[in-house]
Structure formats: structure tokens, C-alpha cells
Amino acid sequence: DAKTTQPTSMDCAEGRAANLPCNHSTISGNEYVYWYRQIHSQGPQYIIHGLKNNETNEMASLIITEDRKSSTLILPHATLRDTAVYYCIVRVEAGGTSYGKLTFGQGTILTVHP
């Protein structure tokens, strides 16, 4: 699976958009970009994933550049509860009964302040 690079930490004001970048310059054509987050002392939680098109769900938006070498997770209106470690993970889609495993890096510590 391709390696990802994320900033160590970021700050965001409550109510503003939080834009979390991720570089994955060695991504290959069949690898997806996934985002998870981990609130303090809890298990990671899935946020969103995409291949090459931009994606949006009730939690966030994912913008993937045309060359797919980087992406940005956008939390449109950050709240204090969004304070967490955000992980960008690149991996191939598991097929059939194959499970596929998640490999976590250091992630970005996002702090949302009042």
C-alpha cells in the first residue's frame, strides 16, 4: 500500500471549515483513499473514502486531485467534538472474501477551539 504524509497537527476555530491535507504521491491506479478518525481513547471511526472522484457524506467531503497524488478531507463546520486524530490511509479495495487490512500512520491531530 502507498505511503501517506500528513501534517502532525492543525488547529481550527469552531464553526469554520477544517481542511486536512494528505499527500500520497506513490498511489497506484487501484488504490483508494480512506479517512478515519480517532477520538481520544476510543477506536478509530470510518469517515469517508474515494478513488478519484470527489465524495461527500453526512460527516465530511473528500477532494482528490486530478493526478491523485494528494487529497483533502473537509469538515465543513467543525465542532469541539471533531477534535481527534485524523488518519489518511491508502490501500487497494479488498475483493471477494479477502479481508484487506488497515495500516495506520501517525495521522493529524486536529484541535477545534472555541
Partner 1 sequence: ETGVTQTPRHLVMGMTNKKSLKCEQHLGHNAMYWYKQSAKKPLELMFVYNFKEQTENNSVPSRFSPECPNSSHLFLHLHTLQPEDSALYLCASSQGGQGAYGYTFGSGTRLTVV
- Using CB under 8 A as the criterion, which residues of the chain lie in contact with partner 1 when the complex forms? 32, 34, 36, 41-46, 49, 89, 91, 93-107
Judged by beta carbon, residue 98 or residue 114, the one nearer partner 1 is: 98
At closest approach, how far in Å is the CB of 107 from partner 1? 7
Nearer to partner 1, 96 or 114 (CB): 96
- CA neighbours closer than 13 Å in the CB half-sphere of residue 69: 3
Residue (17 or 102) nearer to partner 1, CB: 102
User: Whole-number minimum distance, CB 65 to partner 1, in Å?
Assistant: 20
Shorter beta-carbon distance to partner 1: residue 57 or 65:
57
Rounded Cα gap, residues 92 and 106, in angstroms: 20
Residue 40 grid coordinates: 481520544
Q: How far apart are CA 112 and CA 114, in angstroms?
A: 7
DSSP string, 23-45: E-TT--TTEEEEEEEE-TTS--E
Nearest distance, CB of residue 106 and partner 1, angstroms: 6
